[in-house]
Amino acid sequence: MSMANASGTAISRFLALDSLRGICASMIVLLHFHTPGIISNSALVKNGSLFVDFFFVLSGFVISASYGDRITNGFSIGKFMGLRMGRIYPLHFFVLMVFLAFEIVFATGVLGQADRQPFQAPNDIPSLLASLFLVQTFIGPDGTGWNGPSWSIAVEMWTYLIFAFVFRWARPILIPLCLVLAALCGIYLFNLTDRYLNVFHDGALARCLFGFSLGVVAFQAHKWIATRKELPAALATVLEIAAIIITVQIVSISGSKPLSLIVPPVFFGVVLLFSFQRGAVAKLLLKPPFLLMGTLSYSIYMIHGFLEYRTVNALGIIEKLSHGRLDLVTTIDGHNQVGGSPLFGDFMSILMLAITIGFAYLSYRWIEHPAQQWSRRKLRQKPAAVPAEPVAAVAPVP
């Protein structure tokens, strides 16, 4: 599959990168579903919040591929932002309203006694309004109220706007500007907090700009390398395996340490390497199950929080009905999570991921994709004027 840029040159759809995005979204699902199992307590999953930075790097890459030349050559910045809103906002709004509806039901008391009061921070009205306007990382003490993962799509939207102006007016210095911006963001995050890269409120925009800038550079590097001799498939396979091993090791040991600041450059290398789809690992990522995960990645990312909360609620109800004979939910640091044995925890992690993928398919089919098509129809003036619309790489995109 391909899409055309403003000059009519075909650009790959980078399907292997779509699949990697789906895998990263799945890692974040596992991260947020706490259990006593081996999966939930593995170093890779416990530090899985760093996979959001893959979304940011990939977002810079695909936005540069889809829109960079178009915006430079006069494509409307307003239309670009409208298309991005049409791609990202409808599902964000829907999930936020589902959270709100549940909070209202919770406030009525029909669900019985609970361990907190409704509409209290971080799920209060000011946080709701901030989330509606995608400013939750700038306003208030917590950027993860209501639907926590939406912090990343909020900063992505503002990053889109910043880079639209960069593509329009700073194209001659695009690569050095992006490298300088990435370096400055890294330095800023190093000095901002002892969480370094792993921030969700203060510094969240810098975190996104860090990865996004490197993604833009990665696409420019891809274009330059693509005009040279093709990488042998055997060598590409070795490099892809090495890239996966290095990524797993770096993420597993980074967490909120200073080392986390090298994660975006590592993802820069991963995105650039897999963009050529030459090796056996990339070919594996082109198989239908992985492609489906890539297609559903944004829905997976955006809906998993609500599903996980409700799953823990359901387990708590079952435990109460058993009069304590079943140990299904435990409380750690004031938060409910899955209890029981490690084996039960691993079973629930796998089941939770499967449930999320199933609901993500429904949300993609009935909300995400129709809303995208509607926005494209509204903004289209002529068929060639609107490029193929890439998903938020966060899923933020987060």
Residue 167 lies in a domain: yes
Q: How confident is the model at residue 6 (pLDDT cuts 50, 70, 90)?
A: very low
With 80 as the cut, is the pLDDT of residue 65 above it? yes
Residues in the chain: 398
Distance CA 292, CA 145 (A): 29
Residue 111 lies in a domain: yes
Residue 176 lies in a domain: yes
Residue 193 lies in a domain: yes
Rg (CA), the chain: 21
Q: Is the CB of residue 151 less than 8 Å from the CB of residue 136?
A: yes
Give the H/E segment covering residue 82: helix 77-108
With 60 as the cut, is the pLDDT of residue 384 above it? no
| Total count of domains within the chain | 1
Residue 303 lies in a domain: no
With 60 as the cut, is the pLDDT of residue 1 above it? no
Q: Which of 71-80, 224-233, 320-329, 347-356 has the lowest mean pLDDT?
A: 320-329
Residue 241 lies in a domain: yes
Q: Which residues pair with 3 in a beta bridge?
A: 11
Residue 35 lies in a domain: no
54-64 confidence digits (pLDDT tens): 999 999 999 99
CA atoms within 13 A on the CB side of 284: 9
206-222 confidence digits (pLDDT tens): 999 999 999 999 999 99
Q: Is the CB of residue 93 less than 8 Å from the CB of residue 154?
A: no
Structural domain boundaries, residue 151: 2-25+51-294
Distance CA 272, CA 282 (A): 12
In one-letter notation, the amino acid at residue 77 is: I
The pTM of the full predicted model, rounded to 2 decimals, is 0.92
* Residue in this structure with the two tokens 């709100």, named with its chain if needed: 100
Task: Measure Cα distances from 342 to 26, 148, 309 in Å.
Answer: 20, 26, 20
| Mean pLDDT value across the chain | 90
Residue 222 lies in a domain: yes
- Identify the pLDDT of residue 325: 87
> 73 or 327: which carries more pLDDT confidence?
73
- Identify the pLDDT of residue 64: 98
- Identify the pLDDT of residue 380: 77
With 50 as the cut, is the pLDDT of residue 95 above it? yes
